[in-house]
Structure formats: C-alpha cells, structure tokens
C-alpha cells in the first residue's frame, strides 16, 4: 500500500523528465560555468510556477510555500567534469572534453521532478519546500559560493536538508548509513626552504631534495604509527617537486598532499601531525625559513546524524520496501553539500541511488568483476540507466521530504 498515492502520478511526468535529462546530458558545463544549466533550471521552475532566485553566480533556488509547517531543503549539484564522453549513448555530450560523468544531471532532474510532484499535490502536505541547485560540487567551491552570496539570509531557515547521489550499484536500490557516508577531503601544498648551491659544493647548501625525501618518509608514520588501527585515514603525497638540474642544489621544495578522513577530530590530529613533522624535519635540516602550509580543495565530512537518518530511512523503506533500501559502507569520495546544513546549523540526510541495470550488476557481482565491468562516477563510460534511476531518484527526494512535510507514524 503506497503511503502517498499521488507519487504514482510520476508516470505522467517521466517523459518530460527523460527529455530534460537527455538535454542536460548533451550540454554539460564545468564547475562555476553552469550558465546554460542554470537558465534551463530557471525556465523549468517558471514552468512549474515557482519563482527562481540566483544565489552564488550559477546557483538557483526555488521555494515552494504551502502553509504552516516544517521547512525542508533538498539540494542537487549541477556541474559536469573535464572528461571526454565515451559511452556511445545517442544523447552523449556535445561539448568537447566535458561530460556529466558524475550524474549531476540526474540529480537536477530528480529534484525538479520531486518539486513538480509536491507542487501539484499541495493538499497532501504543508510547510515549505526549498529546491536548491548548487553549482561547482566537483571543485568544492559551489556550496561556499552560495553561502558567500548570503544564502543563509536569503532563504527561510530549513529544519532539515536532504541530498542524494547516483552511484554504480543496482538501479532500484538505495544505500544509506548512519554516521559517515563520504569522507572529508583536504589538499595541502607545503613549501620548504633550503639554501641553494652548486651541485659540487653541498657543504654550502641546505638541500631541500633530501629534506623533502625525509618528510615524505616520516609522513607515512601518521597513519601507520599515530592512528588507531581500524580508524580510516589516508595521507597521500601526490607530488614532490624540487630542483631542475643534476648539478644545482635548489633552494626550495614543494609537496602536494591529499587527506581523507571520516572523523573530524582525527582530521585535526592528522593536520597537526603533518605540520609538526614538517617543522621538525625543517629544523633538523637547518632550514633557513619556516615552512609554508596552504590548504585548498577542502571538502567537509558528510555524516548522517542518528535521528535524521532514522526518519528518512524509515520513510524510504516504507515506500520502496525493505529489500530496496540497504545499509551502505561509507565511500572514500567527498562532497561539499554539508556546508549548507552546517551553515544553517541543521541536520541532514544523504543517500545513494543505484544506477546500473540490475541484471548487469548482479552478473558482475557473481563474476567478481564489478570494479572492471561497471564504470564508476568520473569514468568516460559512466552511463546511468535512465529507467528506473530517474524515477527512483525523484521519488526518493519526494518521500524523504514528505517524512517531514506530511509526517506519519511509521511504527504503526
Ligand atoms: Zn564527482
Ligand atoms: Zn558527484
């Protein structure tokens, strides 16, 4: 027995959603350049009779007011990636070197679809529904751009925020978890200083090449020796650059690091350990200048609190059935969504929507070939199955919002 019979009206609007999805997929735009995409979203909002606000450049927000009650904010990211599409799909990208390779086009259309369902069935709920279309998730700049443009003052304060992501597991199923679902991600540029000299006169130098080498080795002990076994942490040195020629000792070196964690306190400890080790190695080398640390491309932790997770998961399970909703392990990827609920000081729920034809996924699981046969997000072959992914994503957004906007006793 469906909890909200009007959700079956989705069948009548799916053709509109499929066409919109294919149009967006053909016209992907990179982070902070989503001009056509934003205009298209504005036009669709106008068609639904919902006023659109531009916030943070290419961010778009539509607010559907429907009497007294809670306020729910649902968010979709809208940017594409610098990837050359190789799916062979009839509706492949028409833009050279740019592709919706992370499925954000699916997120846009699912959210517009949920907004339309709620807008056409106002008698079924009351409160305020905010549909927020966020630019530039891929470079962690978009949520911050909307906040810097006064998002918190421009919108009604939500009671809860919701977001979802398509992932390469069976379409028709939804994965979520209490606690961390995506890691915090941080990039860090470290500059260390030596004293340059002729390569034949090392006694006149403080050699930053040797200094960088010992820093890289010592950094390995942060995870292996300072982090409790079983706690998740990644410290990757992605680049170590110093020098240009065999017979010149350079005067500085640069290291680029990437960090991933599921725990905010551990993240702080790792950052402190990195700085301690770098300063210590610089002192040991006799470095003439303090090292410099520059953090960039920083993604916050995405972690579902217990209460919001329970409410949303109960609603999703009631609607889709227990066999369709599963408890997922956290992904090591990262997201900037949580900046928005964190800025309002409100809880949030984040879940994953499967996008691979179920038979294809099952066959790959049985053959043990998921990692080689199922293209993941950011791959030039990433091709979510429109059906049923689009319908599931649309219903999931609507059902999760209705858990607050039309609350029911799910324990009965
Ligand atoms: Zn992505
Ligand atoms: Zn993504």
368 — pLDDT class (breaks 50, 70, 90): very high
User: What b/e readout covers 25-53, taking b as 16+ CB neighbours within 10 angstroms?
Assistant: bbbbbbbbbbeebbebbbebbeebebebe
Q: What are the tens digits of pLDDT across the range 27-85? A: 999 999 999 999 999 999 999 999 999 999 999 999 999 999 999 999 999 999 999 99
199 belongs to a structural domain: yes
Compute the distance from residue 194 Cα to the ligand 1 centre, in Å.
38
Q: Which residues are catalytic?
A: 79, 137
Last residue in a domain, options 299, 331, 355: 299
- Alpha-carbon distance of 354 to 370, in angstroms, equals 13
Residues in the chain: 412
Counting beta carbons within 10 angstroms of the beta carbon of residue 171, is it exposed (0 to 12), middle (13 to 18) or buried (19 or more)? buried
Give the rounded percent of residues in the chain with a pLDDT score beyond 90.
Answer: 95
Q: Which helix (H) or strand (E) holds 240?
A: strand 233-241
Question: Does residue 363 surpass a pLDDT of 70?
Answer: yes
Ligand in closest contact with the CA of 166: 2
105 belongs to a structural domain: yes
Q: What is the pLDDT of residue 412?
A: 54
Q: Tell me: do 45 and 169 sit in the same domain.
A: yes
Beta strands 127-134 and 59-66, pairing class: antiparallel
Beta strands 252-261 and 184-193, pairing class: antiparallel
| Residue linked to tokens 């403080």 | 206
Give, to the nearest 10 degrees, the angle between helix 264-285 and helix 208-225.
150
Q: Tell me: do 74 and 209 sit in the same domain.
A: no
- Alpha-carbon distance of 253 to 232, in angstroms, equals 29
Question: Does residue 2 surpass a pLDDT of 70?
Answer: no
Ligand in closest contact with the CA of 81: 1
Last residue in a domain, options 268, 299, 330: 299
User: 357 CB contacts (<8 Å, ≥6 apart)?
Assistant: 171, 385
Question: Does residue 375 surpass a pLDDT of 50?
Answer: yes
175 belongs to a structural domain: yes
Domain that holds residue 214: 184-299
Q: Tell me: do 146 and 257 sit in the same domain.
A: no
Q: Tell me: do 94 and 152 sit in the same domain.
A: yes
Structural domain total, the chain:
2
388 upstream amide cis, omega within 30 of 0: yes
**4-18, 168-182, 230-244: least confident range:** 4-18
Compute the distance from residue 161 Cα to the ligand 2 centre, in Å.
17
127 belongs to a structural domain: yes
Compute the distance from residue 80 Cα to the ligand 1 centre, in Å.
8
**What are the E-state strand segments in 100-183?**
127-134, 160-170, 174-176, 179-182
Q: Tell me: do 122 and 192 sit in the same domain.
A: no
Question: Does residue 411 surpass a pLDDT of 80?
Answer: no
Compute the distance from residue 77 Cα to the ligand 2 centre, in Å.
7
Q: Tell me: do 128 and 216 sit in the same domain.
A: no
- Alpha-carbon distance of 7 to 14, in angstroms, equals 12
Q: Tell me: do 341 and 362 sit in the same domain.
A: yes
Q: What is the pLDDT of residue 141?
A: 95
Compute the distance from residue 79 Cα to the ligand 2 centre, in Å.
8
Q: What are the tens digits of pLDDT across the range 104-117? A: 999 999 999 999 99
Mean pLDDT confidence for 250-267: 97
With vertex at residue 341, the alpha carbon angle to CA 335 and CA 347, rounded to the nearest 5 degrees, is 105
Compute the distance from residue 81 Cα to the ligand 1 centre, in Å.
8
User: Distance between the two ends of the chain, CA-based, in angstroms?
Assistant: 14
Q: Tell me: do 219 and 121 sit in the same domain.
A: no
Give the rounded percent of residues in the chain with a pLDDT score beyond 70.
Answer: 99
Q: Tell me: do 151 and 237 sit in the same domain.
A: no
Q: Tell me: do 160 and 275 sit in the same domain.
A: no
Ligand in closest contact with the CA of 108: 2
Mean pLDDT confidence for 201-219: 98
**CATH code where residue 34 lies:** 3.40.630.10
- Alpha-carbon distance of 356 to 173, in angstroms, equals 10
- Alpha-carbon distance of 362 to 336, in angstroms, equals 31
Provide the whole-model pTM. Answer: 0.91
Q: What are the tens digits of pLDDT across the range 125-178? A: 999 999 999 999 999 999 999 999 999 999 999 999 999 999 999 999 999 999
203 belongs to a structural domain: yes
**CATH code where residue 240 lies:** 3.30.70.360
Question: Does residue 1 surpass a pLDDT of 60?
Answer: no
Last residue in a domain, options 283, 299, 315: 299
412 belongs to a structural domain: no
Q: Tell me: do 15 and 143 sit in the same domain.
A: yes
Assess contact for 340 and 143: CB atoms under 8 A: yes
Compute the distance from residue 81 Cα to the ligand 2 centre, in Å.
9
Q: What is the pLDDT of residue 410?
A: 73
User: 134 CB contacts (<8 Å, ≥6 apart)?
Assistant: 56, 59, 75, 76, 77, 78, 142, 143, 146, 336, 337, 340
Q: Tell me: do 338 and 284 sit in the same domain.
A: no
């Amino acid at each position: 027995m469906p909890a909200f019979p009007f959700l079956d009206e989705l069948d009548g609007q799916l053709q509109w959603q499929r066409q919109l999805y294919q149009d967006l997929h053909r016209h992907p735009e990179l982070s902070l350049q989503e001009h056509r995409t934003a205009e298209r979203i504005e036009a669709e909002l106008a068609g639904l009779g919902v006023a659109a606000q531009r916030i943070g450049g290419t961010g778009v927000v539509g607010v559907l007011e429907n009497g007294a009650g809670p306020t729910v904010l649902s968010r979709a990211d809208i940017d594409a990636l610098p990837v050359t599409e190789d799916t062979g799909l009839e509706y492949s990208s028409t833009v050279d070197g740019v592709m919706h390779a992370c499925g954000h086009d699916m997120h846009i259309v699912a959210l517009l679809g949920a907004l339309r369902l709620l807008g056409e069935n106002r008698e079924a709920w009351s409160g305020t529904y905010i549909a927020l279309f966020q630019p530039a998730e891929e470079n962690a700049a978009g949520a911050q751009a909307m906040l810097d443009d006064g998002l918190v003052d421009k919108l009604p304060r939500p009671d809860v925020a919701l977001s979802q992501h398509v992932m390469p597991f069976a379409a028709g199923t939804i994965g979520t978890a209490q606690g961390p679902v995506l890691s915090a991600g941080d990039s860090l540029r470290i500059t260390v200083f030596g004293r340059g000299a002729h390569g034949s006169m090392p006694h006149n130098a403080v050699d930053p090449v040797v200094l960088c080498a010992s820093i890289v080795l010592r950094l390995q002990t942060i995870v292996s020796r300072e982090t409790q076994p079983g706690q998740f942490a990644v410290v990757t040195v992605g680049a170590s650059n110093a020098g240009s020629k065999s017979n010149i000792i350079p005067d500085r070196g640069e290291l680029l690091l990437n960090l991933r964690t599921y725990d905010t306190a551990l993240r702080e400890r790792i950052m402190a350990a990195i700085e301690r080790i770098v300063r210590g190695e610089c002192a040991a080398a006799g470095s003439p200048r303090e090292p410099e640390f520059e953090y960039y491309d920083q993604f916050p932790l995405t972690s579902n609190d217990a209460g919001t997770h329970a409410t949303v998961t109960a609603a999703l399970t009631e609607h889709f059935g227990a066999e369709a909703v599963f408890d997922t392990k956290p992904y090591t990827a990262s997201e900037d969504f949580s900046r928005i609920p964190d800025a309002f000081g409100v809880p949030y729920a984040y879940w994953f929507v499967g996008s691979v034809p179920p038979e294809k996924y099952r066959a790959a699981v049985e053959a043990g070939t998921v990692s080689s046969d199922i293209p993941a997000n950011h791959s030039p072959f990433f091709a979510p199955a429109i059906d049923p992914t689009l319908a599931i994503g649309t219903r999931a957004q609507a059902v999760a919002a209705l858990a607050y906007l039309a609350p029911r006793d799910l324990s009965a």
